[in-house]
Amino acid sequence: MQVVFLAAGMSNRLRPLTDSRPKCLLDVAGKTLLERALDALQSEGLAQIVFVTGYRASMIREAVEERYPRLAATWIVNERYAQTNNAYSLLLAEPAVRGEFLLLDSDIIFPPQMVRAMVGFPERPCLALDRHACGEEEIKVLLDGQNRVQDIGKDVPPAQAAGESTGVEVFSERSGRELFQVLRRRIVDEHRENEFYEASFRDMIRGGTAFQAVDTTTFSALEVDTAEDLERARASFGGAR
């Protein structure tokens, strides 16, 4: 199984920490976000990684090639990272994707057990769900009675949401092809270059594709969007450096 690892953004909410380096190279108690993600993936046998970079792309590539020289890495650069969002970056990965893949944002800290749960889940496509009370900013998930995703997005009413999409998904070859078709229509034909890829998930769901939610709450994955998130992550892993 391949991994599509999205790391193109400028992470403006973390400035000035990201003025001189991309978010995934920020330190969390002795390891960068990038190292924590790649260590967890490799521990579960996932070593074919399609990296989509943009902001300070060379720093990410240098870090990977120095720390993980045997990784089977494919490199794609989103030259328009400042004007686009992660849906655009994901679409750029299409030529490099073969078969099923795990989709991952570069700002998530997660244990190997979470990778195992996602890869081992029998249904595709599936997404990781963190069950907790949500506010307005999270990418929220609405479920039916069988853990199928009925809707996804920031605009899902918080009171109706089962929890937050963690930012980890697995696609079969077939559902991956469908995803890229939807992305291409929305981005190329409809010029929706500055949107989150969850908008394409929503399109697929409304078209009848069944996304299954995998409850990953017990794995305590952490998404780092703000300085407060970073400090919380550092505290969880033994203090800041």
Q: Which residues contact 205 (CB under 8 A, 6 or more apart)?
A: 149, 150, 151, 152, 211
Q: How many helices (H) and strands (E) does the chain have?
A: 7, 13
**218 in any annotated domain:** yes
**107 in any annotated domain:** yes
**31 in any annotated domain:** yes
**155 in any annotated domain:** yes
* Mean per-residue pLDDT, 154-164: 94
**241 in any annotated domain:** no
Query: By mean pLDDT, which of 1-5, 8-12, 223-227 is the weakest?
Result: 223-227
Work out how many domains the chain is built from and give that number: 1
Closest CA to 203 of 182, 176, 175: 182
Question: Could you tell me the CATH number of the domain that includes residue 173?
Answer: 3.90.550.10
Helix axes 173-184, 198-206, angle to 10 degrees: 110
Alpha-helical regions (H) of the chain: 33-43, 57-67, 86-92, 112-120, 173-184, 198-206, 227-236
**106 in any annotated domain:** yes
**pLDDT on residue 237:** 79
Tens of pLDDT along 61-95? 999 999 999 999 999 999 999 999 999 999 999 99
**28 in any annotated domain:** yes
**152 in any annotated domain:** yes
Q: Binning pLDDT at 50, 70 and 90, where does residue 241 land? A: very low
**Full residue range of the structural domain in which residue 176 is found:** 2-236
User: Are 124 and 100 in contact, with CB atoms under 8 Å apart?
Assistant: yes
